[in-house]
Amino acid sequence: AAHNANGQQIAEWLDAHAKVEQVYYPGLPAHPQHELARRQMRGFTGMISIEMGSLERAAAFVNGVRIFALAESLGGVESLIGHPAMMTHASIPRDRRYAMGLTDGLVRLSCGVEDVQDLIADLDQALAAV
């Protein structure tokens, strides 16, 4: 339950941040499948995807975090961050990745059970460097 609560708070915080172009999270009312998720889920998960706008901006953000660990695996109790264009999907040609919605600027977050204010502070200081 803590990762659900953390995910919701962090998604809302990221959604209001000027340096984040888009937040993909079913707990946000603007998400196209929010109503479906609301009916099917008890919590909206700790998994968040964000669009940073470019490979360089995404890389700067990912490299700037201190609490979120860089990892390809997601969904554990610790907070993790991944950059699919440079990690899990690096071998897929750019045009194919884009067709799947995996842009150069896409970043995935898996919010763990740490204190949510610590996680937000970590993301804030990383975004300040972008």
pLDDT at 119: 98
56 Cβ neighbours under 8 A, 6+ residues apart: none
- When pLDDT is cut at 50, 70 and 90, the band that residue 34 belongs to is confident
- The predicted model scores a pTM of 0.90
- List the 106-110 sheet strands across, edge first: 22-24, 47-51, 106-110, 80-82, 69-70
Q: Report the distance separating Cα 90 and Cα 110, nearest Å.
A: 19
DSSP 33-46: THHHHHHH-SS--S
Q: Report the distance separating Cα 15 and Cα 118, nearest Å.
A: 18
Is residue 74 scored above 70 in pLDDT?
no
Give the domain range for residue 25: 2-128
Is residue 126 scored above 70 in pLDDT?
yes
- When pLDDT is cut at 50, 70 and 90, the band that residue 45 belongs to is confident
CATH number for the domain that contains residue 20: 3.90.1150.10
pLDDT at 13: 98
Domain count of the fold of the chain: 1
Q: What mean pLDDT is predicted for residues 38-47? A: 82
